[in-house]
Chain A
């Protein structure tokens, strides 16, 4: 906590060092943010194409053929193209959006400032981790353009489908190799980032910033970094083993006796379930990597705009820690029907239900924070409230899926798709929107347009409920996920009207996002100048100019005297006490 004074660097002057290969955590934070913004629109575009194909599988669209001459001959999307869009949608959204923006984007910009540091602990490592992520994204996108196109095995890349190469389908050749390479690069970048976040949180807090005075955002970033460190290391190893099965003739995930396209393969000793264990050992903590920063942010924003201390700060911290710990012992709930030992399923299911408890604690505390509040309905607050609503809706379906008995039917149906999109997808995205509206003034020195923001919020809120709620009922009827069309099964054909409704809702919601982009870029140039503390918030970033100077605090040595959520303090003239206010 002591040595931050020795950690001084001067601002660079050239364009390249200032904006491209920058060591400044604020610039790197913005770079991550814009990388995620590009990725989220790419991912959303893919999802709209998928939804379109669900409803109109035989439609001829001439520009499909221009984009994918092989995948859409005559403008009609083939099943393999559909599956590759699905795989890339999931991969891009999970890695380059959900993992990137809330943690690496906002975390990079605000973790050092919120704990009083001038930069991250390792600025060069920070720059390196961003550019490795950038390279990973390029490699991932390149998979679209190689022979056979992008892989089609889903973002979970289950072996043997992912390990067999081209014989398992187009896209499983070169496209799959690039996918693995990209994920390996991404793992490396995330490991570098995780080390940086952990070191920064532990070492660079200013005097008085005890752990229990950190804003909940910092707690969330800290625990997320620990999850990243432990999770991505395992995914990296698994990815390397998979690549070796594909290219070096090894048999980690390939058992004996495989007959593919009437060819007997010479593999033996591997286990398809091993891949699933390794993947989900990363994959489940990944869910919390995506959502914890959003939970921290929502807590923060709710308290600021409720003008009230967060309800149960300690309980919130313990809940984050409990989620972080339990997040590593529940991965088996993705594998109830995999052929894993049925007794193991029971153990995993009890752990899974246990992790629902801290999630419920957080929800109750959010409502507790709002009780007796003076709510200011800014756009940031609307999105945070939307986050809570979506978190409840998405979390509740987890109570069904966490029970192996009920998963027997619901597994791999649209019920699951609805569940994780609600909680890991849109709830997390609402966290990002809330963070954008909340921190934009500090990041860019200008205010975003509140009217446009509110219109965007309401339309998006309606849109996401309209897309993802019907998925649950499709799952109850038994509609499997990852089907390129529903012609083979009569009962699925009867559900087409529900699919059509969702497709229209998805197109509507996607179009509405233009409002956000307009607001973002217009406000960057033309927004009203932001004061230092537009929201009358208490944490350290609001005690410095908007945008912050290069070294954040202008060389001042701060001492923190208060907790992060001192609102409505009795006997004070202002309704809030800043963390740096005198004791």
Chain B
């Protein structure tokens, strides 16, 4: 009795927690994010219905079929029912994953269209760094022997390569609004992760691997980049800022950084 009641109360409270607006995603700032939210909602409806029906039914059986001194129904099962709920579960579950494949493909399998802003990212314990190709549009060669954090060279840009002279390095990432960005992710020591809630993307940064990630943000603002793969004792402090800028402001910022480099 009490158990049936508890299960029902939990069911209602949980449905309330998920259906309400109290704890939700931050507003998405890209098309992928909005599709993500939509598919999340679809999955929530499907699973919510299964959750609700199963828990309510469980509570109901506990309430309804308490021992009253009689004898239970003698039944070893029902094959028709087995076939029915097996197929229903299969269709729902596989259906959900097939629907979500589009979202996955949008991030990982569809190359971005149009002119792409290319940015490199490198992570180390417990900092992110980002690199822009500068005025020449070319990234300078890298040489790990030349890595020098104190001298502002966390990437190890080769001093001898002229293409690297104007590379802009920054500990925060700035991107122009409405333009596709290809982010090339690397790590120097252990596995880190690039996670921006508002973009609905998360990608590990693995030493020894070069992993591309693309996105296109369409809302100006500042957003947190949080490391989401345990990387050591400073993991919880590993943060960068993603700033989405008006394209003109972005160009201006890049030119200013370039000018600073030339002045050195």
Q: State in angstroms the CA–CA spacing of A16 and B76 once bound together.
A: 47
A-chain residues with CB within 8 Å of residue B190 when the two chains form the complex? 158, 160-161, 164, 168, 260
Residue of B nearest to A342 (CB): B108
Q: State in angstroms the CA–CA spacing of A273 and B125 once bound together.
A: 19
Q: Are the C-beta atoms of B235 and A353 separated by less than 8 Å? A: no
B-chain residues with CB within 8 Å of residue A158 when the two chains form the complex? 190-191, 229-230
Q: How far is the CB of A90 from chain B (nearest CB, A)?
A: 11
A-chain residues with CB within 8 Å of residue B236 when the two chains form the complex? 79, 482-486, 488
Among A61-69, A198-206, A354-362, the stretch that binds chain B is A354-362
Q: Are the C-beta atoms of A375 and B66 separated by less than 8 Å? A: yes
Which residues of B in the span 168-205 have a Cβ within 8 Å of any Cβ on A? Answer: 188-191, 193, 195, 197, 200-204
Q: Are the C-beta atoms of A408 and B103 separated by less than 8 Å? A: yes
A153 touching B230 in the complex, CB below 8 Å, given contacts A337-B202, A389-B58: yes
Among B42-50, B133-141, B248-256, the stretch that binds chain A is B42-50
B-chain residues with CB within 8 Å of residue A271 when the two chains form the complex? 208
- A259 at the binding interface (Cβ < 8 Å): yes
Q: State in angstroms the CA–CA spacing of A46 and B235 once bound together.
A: 20
A469 touching B43 in the complex, CB below 8 Å, given contacts A256-B208, A339-B209: no
Q: State in angstroms the CA–CA spacing of A78 and B50 once bound together.
A: 43
Q: State in angstroms the CA–CA spacing of A567 and B191 once bound together.
A: 55
Residue of B nearest to A409 (CB): B200
A-chain residues with CB within 8 Å of residue B105 when the two chains form the complex? 342
Question: Among the interface residues B58, B61, B65, which one has the most CB atoms of the partner chain A within 10 A?
Answer: B61
A357 touching B90 in the complex, CB below 8 Å, given contacts A255-B208, A315-B77, A412-B202: yes
- What's the tally of chain B residues with a CB closer than 8 Å to chain A? 100
Q: How far is the CB of A162 from chain B (nearest CB, A)?
A: 9
Q: Are the C-beta atoms of B204 and A337 separated by less than 8 Å? A: yes
Q: State in angstroms the CA–CA spacing of A310 and B109 once bound together.
A: 47
- A100 at the binding interface (Cβ < 8 Å): no
Q: State in angstroms the CA–CA spacing of A307 and B206 once bound together.
A: 55
Residue of A nearest to B150 (CB): A262
Q: Are the C-beta atoms of B202 and A375 separated by less than 8 Å? A: no
A412 touching B193 in the complex, CB below 8 Å, given contacts A307-B71, A372-B65, A567-B72: yes
Q: Are the C-beta atoms of B43 and A259 separated by less than 8 Å? A: no
Q: How far is the CB of B110 from chain A (nearest CB, A)?
A: 10
A-chain residues with CB within 8 Å of residue B152 when the two chains form the complex? none
Residue of A nearest to B83 (CB): A315
- A346 at the binding interface (Cβ < 8 Å): yes
Which residues of A in the span 141-174 have a Cβ within 8 Å of any Cβ on B? Answer: 152-154, 158, 160-161, 164, 168-170
Q: How far is the CB of A14 from chain B (nearest CB, A)?
A: 47
Q: Are the C-beta atoms of B58 and A309 separated by less than 8 Å? A: no
Q: State in angstroms the CA–CA spacing of A259 and B233 once bound together.
A: 17
Residue of B nearest to A80 (CB): B233
A-chain residues with CB within 8 Å of residue B65 when the two chains form the complex? 306, 370-375
What 0/1 readout, one digit per residue, does chain B (72-93) give for beta carbons within 8 Å of chain A? 1111111001100110011001
Q: Are the C-beta atoms of B85 and A360 separated by less than 8 Å? A: yes
Residue of A nearest to B205 (CB): A339
Residue of A nearest to B239 (CB): A488
A-chain residues with CB within 8 Å of residue B115 when the two chains form the complex? none
- B242 at the binding interface (Cβ < 8 Å): no
A409 touching B207 in the complex, CB below 8 Å, given contacts A374-B67, A393-B14, A488-B236: no
Q: State in angstroms the CA–CA spacing of A174 and B101 once bound together.
A: 44
A-chain residues with CB within 8 Å of residue B10 when the two chains form the complex? 389, 393, 465, 469
Q: Are the C-beta atoms of B71 and A409 separated by less than 8 Å? A: no
Q: State in angstroms the CA–CA spacing of A256 and B109 once bound together.
A: 27
Q: How far is the CB of A341 from chain B (nearest CB, A)?
A: 9
What 0/1 readout, one digit per residue, does chain B (146-161) give for beta carbons within 8 Å of chain A? 0101000000100000
Which residues of B in the span 88-122 have a Cβ within 8 Å of any Cβ on A? Answer: 89-90, 93-94, 96-98, 100-105, 107-109
Residue of A nearest to B108 (CB): A342
Q: State in angstroms the CA–CA spacing of A568 and B224 once bound together.
A: 62
Q: State in angstroms the CA–CA spacing of A490 and B26 once bound together.
A: 13
Q: State in angstroms the CA–CA spacing of A57 and B72 once bound together.
A: 55
Residue of A nearest to B48 (CB): A396
With A342-B108, A408-B200 given, can you name 11 additional A-B contacts, CB distance below 8 Å? A310-B77, A337-B202, A342-B109, A349-B101, A361-B86, A365-B77, A368-B78, A389-B58, A396-B47, A408-B202, A484-B233
Q: A-side interface residues toward B, CB under 8 Å?
A: 78-80, 83, 152-154, 158, 160-161, 164, 168-170, 255-262, 264, 270-273, 306-315, 337-339, 342-343, 345-346, 349-350, 352-354, 356-357, 360-361, 363-368, 370-377, 382, 385-386, 388-389, 392-393, 396-397, 399-400, 402-406, 408-409, 411-413, 458, 461-462, 465, 469-470, 472-474, 476-478, 480, 482-486, 488-491, 498, 565, 567-570, 575
What are 7 A-B residue pairs whose CB atoms fall within 8 Å in the complex? A257-B207, A337-B203, A345-B104, A389-B55, A396-B47, A403-B96, A409-B25
